[in-house]
Every structure is written in structure tokens, then in C-alpha cells.
């Protein structure tokens, strides 16, 4: 029997009516001849409520107890979904993490999968059950304690089950109807993609297009699990949503697939840092330890000031989220105090945004950067920092030009055309 994994997030199971709506989508797949593994999140709001209880009880909480508490919401939804499916005449039962068992590491609140043995669920399918409803986000450690995977963990659970059971596809039902060429709130020319490659999705996800958790896409890419993102709140069929898949499956490969942006970026420049071997480590080591998520890094060419007692110096620029600037400054001051680095000053620009164009086609096409820079130049948008990877070009620009830049790039790469 072909098997599908279907995952419903918190807003898709927020109340009994929505659970029923989700159950109807499961029913449709059973009618198409699939055995189905359904992964459910907690009703939206429930997990936050539990986190509030824990934080109200203990500041430096025991993560094992945190996990035992916050995992409760998924168990509730799993039971209710199984009941609803039974009401529809479908043989279904719920599975809590320890019942499968979903074996994970003991890294509570950020556990990783160790193994998902198929025996128990396969035995039920063999008995004639059509649907296994599994509580997402949770697992069990070797010590027999309940673990959780961290936020967004239910997506990861879904992909892991799809991999373990060799599912034909893993459908992620959420509150958007797919992955778009860019944010439709910024340009109404934004177009829903039928397909997107794992690598592209990864770049888009990490750039702030919060449709799928990065970790779930990584896992899908590693195990070649075909992922589909589609809406819980619309009529859907076999062709709905966006398929995230291996690039081999994408025939019409455009050079650029999407334009992503990240609004809350800051640019930090250390002026005239002593330029010597090991200086980058001396800067970015302390930043990492301070929990600063450094994204782009640019180092200017070295210069030697005439008549200066200092040796060669360089300007070091990096970007990080706006709300981490204070932390970054503190880390740099501490590094100076500890004699690890010297510089003449820190210049912070908190009013920048990051714009990226992403596409696997870039690998084989030249001229993408030129097209991008020309489009921005035409709108008089000044580029402050540039960084590139194999399938992505990112620039930092003044935040006030962000929408304009996204629109200009969307037009320049003709993303409105299928």
C-alpha cells in the first residue's frame, strides 16, 4: 500500500472544527488508496501556555521536566484526531512518542532522532488500520524520559517518519498555500511556485521565509523526502501547494527562483582592526560565544597608515540581527579589555535590510549578479555589503529601500512568469 505522511500545524488543529477539517483531508487521501501517517502539533496556543507554566515555576528549569510538560498538547491533539477519524469510519489510532517509540538523543528540548522503528505501526497497518496519528515534536530518550525536538519540531517529525516509512510524499499543511517567489505582501506579482529544490528552500527558509523549519528541509534533502507545503484552509488536491524536491525533478529550472528579504539586520564595522593572522578568530570566536548570529562578513583590503606606529590595519564588517547589536558590542569591548583585539572604533548601522536572490540555476548561469546590481542601481539603491554563495546573492541596503528593491528584483528576473 502506498504511504503518505500528512502534517498539521497548530493553527490547522486549533479547535474541534479545524481538527474535523484536517481529518477530512486525511479521509480524502485514504479514499485515494493511501495508508497515512498523520503528524499533529498541539492546538495553537497550548504549547505557549505550557511554556508559560514552566517559566512561571522555575527560571533555570530542568529541561527533562520542561519536555514532560510541553509535550502534553500534542498527545491531546493526536487522541482527538484519531477519534475524529474513527467517527468518519476510518480505522485509526493515536501514538505518543514513547509508544512508537520515537527514539531520540537525551538533549532535552533540542533532541535529535536516533531511530524510529517501524515494527509497531507496521503491525497495525497490517491489521487493517488505515491511519496512524502520531504526536509531533516529541520522542523518548534512552533513559525513558520524554524529549522534545525544539520549536517547529513537528515538521521534523513528519519528515523523519516519511524517511523511516519510505513515504511517497510528506505533506505539510499550514496556513499558507505554498512557497512564493517572494512575499506577496510586498508585490502582488509574487507567484506561487509549483516546485522548488531543497537547496533553494533551505536558503529561503534561513532567509526568513518561515514556511518550513530549516531543520526539516535539511532532513528532507538528506533522505530525499519529497515535501509538499499546502493550505489547511483551502480545498486541496494532488496538485495543490508547492513541492519541495530534488532538483532532478524540476524540469523548468529558472535561473532565479525567488527573492527573499530580512528586515531586522544591522551592519557592524570594526574600524582599523589590527591585520594579522588569527584576527578573524579573535573577533568571531567571542561573538559566537556571546550568542550573536553573525551572517555576512566582509573584510576590506589591508592598509598601512604612513607614520603610524601600528602595523597594517583593516576594516572588518559583519551583519547580525538588530536586537543582537548590544550583545555584539559588549563582546567586542570585552575582547579589547582581554587584549585579544584592538580597533579604532565601532560603527553600527541598524537601519539596513538584507535582500537575496536564490536559484539553483545560478550554478550554470553567469550574469545574475550583474542583473541584480543593475536593477538596484536603476532604482538608486546603494549596496552596502555583498555576499554570495553557490545559489544565492545577498546584499545589505538601507532598510527604507527594502520593498522597492524586492519589487525591482522580482521584475528584473521576471519571476511573475511561470
80 binds a copy of itself (CB under 8 A): yes
Closest approach of a copy of itself to the CB of residue 87, in Å: 5
Residues 152-211 that bind a copy of itself (CB under 8 A): none
Distance CA 113, CA 223 (A): 13
Stretch that binds a copy of itself, among 91-99, 215-223, 235-243, 270-278 (CB under 8 A): 91-99
Q: Looking at beta carbons only, is 123 or 288 nearer to a copy of itself? A: 123
C-alpha cell read off for 100: 512508537
Closest approach of a copy of itself to the CB of residue 141, in Å: 11
Four-CA torsion 98, 129, 170, 95, nearest 10 degrees? -20
Stretch that binds a copy of itself, among 47-55, 289-297, 344-352, 357-365 (CB under 8 A): 47-55
C-alpha cell read off for 158: 513528519
C-alpha cell read off for 297: 562578513
Q: Looking at beta carbons only, is 83 or 340 nearer to a copy of itself? A: 83
Total residues contacting a copy of itself by CB under 8 A comes to 36
Closest approach of a copy of itself to the CB of residue 79, in Å: 4
Residue 212: how many other CB atoms lie within 10 Å: 24
Q: How far is CA 224 from CA 163, 206, 246, 248, 362, in A?
A: 8, 19, 7, 11, 22
84 binds a copy of itself (CB under 8 A): yes
Closest approach of a copy of itself to the CB of residue 157, in Å: 17
Where do the DSSP E strands lie in 100-232?
Answer: 103-104, 113-115, 131-135, 138-140, 146-148, 169-174, 195-197, 227-231
83 binds a copy of itself (CB under 8 A): yes
Task: Report CA torsion sign: 214, 218, 219, 225.
Answer: positive
Q: Looking at beta carbons only, is 94 or 262 nearer to a copy of itself? A: 94
399 binds a copy of itself (CB under 8 A): no
109 binds a copy of itself (CB under 8 A): no
118 binds a copy of itself (CB under 8 A): no
Task: Report CA torsion sign: 229, 231, 237, 239.
Answer: negative
128 binds a copy of itself (CB under 8 A): no
Q: Looking at beta carbons only, is 16 or 107 nearer to a copy of itself? A: 16
Stretch that binds a copy of itself, among 73-81, 172-180, 264-272, 404-412 (CB under 8 A): 73-81
Stretch that binds a copy of itself, among 53-61, 109-117, 173-181, 408-416 (CB under 8 A): 53-61
Edge-to-edge strand order for the sheet containing 195-197? 92-95, 131-135, 35-40, 3-8, 169-174, 227-231, 242-245, 195-197
Stretch that binds a copy of itself, among 78-86, 109-117, 150-158, 226-234 (CB under 8 A): 78-86
Residues 5-34 that bind a copy of itself (CB under 8 A): 16, 19-20
99 binds a copy of itself (CB under 8 A): yes
Q: Which residues of 50-88 are buried (b: 16+ CB within 10 A; e: fewer)?
A: beeebeeeeeeeebbebbbbbbbbbbbbbbbbbebbeee
C-alpha cell read off for 163: 524517511
75 binds a copy of itself (CB under 8 A): yes
Q: Regarding beta strands 103-104 and 3-8, do their DSSP bridges make them parallel or antiparallel, or are they unpaired?
A: unpaired
Residue appearing with cell numbers 564595522: 269
303 binds a copy of itself (CB under 8 A): no
Q: Which residues bind a copy of itself (CB under 8 A)?
A: 16, 19-20, 50, 53-54, 56-58, 61-62, 64-66, 68-69, 72-73, 75-76, 78-80, 82-84, 86-87, 93-94, 96, 98-99, 144-146
Amino acid at each position: 500500500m502506498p504511504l503518505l505522511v500528512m502534517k498539521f500545524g497548530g493553527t490547522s488543529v486549533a479547535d474541534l472544527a479545524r481538527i474535523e477539517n484536517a481529518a477530512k483531508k486525511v479521509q480524502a487521501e485514504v479514499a485515494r488508496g493511501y495508508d497515512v501517517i498523520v503528524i499533529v502539533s498541539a492546538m495553537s496556543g497550548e504549547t505557549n501556555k505550557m511554556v508559560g507554566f514552566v517559566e512561571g515555576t522555575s527560571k533555570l528549569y530542568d529541561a527533562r521536566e520542561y519536555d514532560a510538560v510541553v509535550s502534553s498538547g500534542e498527545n491531546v491533539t493526536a487522541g482527538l484526531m484519531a477519534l475524529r477519524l474513527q467517527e468518519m469510519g476510518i480505522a485509526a489510532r493515536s501514538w505518543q512518542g514513547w509508544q512508537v517509540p520515537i527514539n531520540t538523543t537525551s538533549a532535552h528540548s533540542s533532541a535529535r532522532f536516533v531511530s524510529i522503528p517501524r515494527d509497531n505501526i507496521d503491525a497495525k497497518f497490517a491489521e487493517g488500520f488505515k491511519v496512524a496519528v502520531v504526536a509531533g515534536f516529541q520522542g523518548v530518550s534512552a533513559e525513558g524520559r520524554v524529549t522534545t525536538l525544539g520549536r517547529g519540531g513537528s515538521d521534523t517529525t513528519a519528515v523523519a517518519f516519511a524517511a523511516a516509512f519510505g513515504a511517497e510524499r510528506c505533506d505539510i499543511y499550514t496556513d499558507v498555500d505554498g512557497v512564493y517567489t517572494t512575499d506577496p505582501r510586498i508585490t502582488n506579482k509574487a507567484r506561487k511556485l509549483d516546485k522548488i529544490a531543497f537547496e533553494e528552500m533551505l536558503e529561503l527558509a534561513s532567509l526568513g521565509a518561515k514556511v518550513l523549519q530549516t531543520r526539516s528541509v535539511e532532513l528532507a534533502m538528506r533522505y530525499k523526502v519529497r515535501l509538499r507545503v499546502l493550505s489547511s484552509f483551502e480545498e486541496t488536491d494532488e496538485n495543490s501547494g508547492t513541492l519541495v524536491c530534488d532538483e532532478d525533478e524540476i524540469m523548468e529550472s529558472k535561473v532565479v527562483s525567488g527573492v527573499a528579504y530580512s528586515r531586522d539586520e544591522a551592519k557592524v564595522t570594526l574600524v582599523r582592526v589590527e591585520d594579522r593572522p588569527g584576527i578573524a578568530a579573535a573577533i568571531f570566536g567571542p561573538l559566537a560565544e556571546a550568542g550573536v548570529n553573525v551572517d555576512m562578513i566582509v573584510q576590506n583590503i589591508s592598509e598601512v597608515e604612513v607614520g603610524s606606529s601600528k602595523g597594517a590595519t583593516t576594516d572588518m564588517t559583519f551583519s547580525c540581527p538588530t536586537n543582537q547589536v548590544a550583545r555584539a558590542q559588549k563582546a567586542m569591548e570585552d575582547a579589547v579589555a582581554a587584549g585579544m583585539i584592538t580597533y579604532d572604533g565601532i560603527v553600527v548601522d541598524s537601519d539596513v535590510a538584507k535582500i537575496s536572490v536564490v536559484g539553483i540555476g545560478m550554478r550554470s548561469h553567469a550574469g545574475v549578479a550583474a542583473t541584480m546590481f543593475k536593477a538596484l542601481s536603476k532604482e538608486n539603491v546603494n549596496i552596502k555589503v555583498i555576499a554570495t554563495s553557490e545559489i544565492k546573492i545577498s546584499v545589505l541596503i538601507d532598510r527604507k529601500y527594502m520593498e522597492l528593491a524586492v519589487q525591482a528584483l522580482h521584475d528584473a528576473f521576471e519571476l511573475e512568469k511561470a
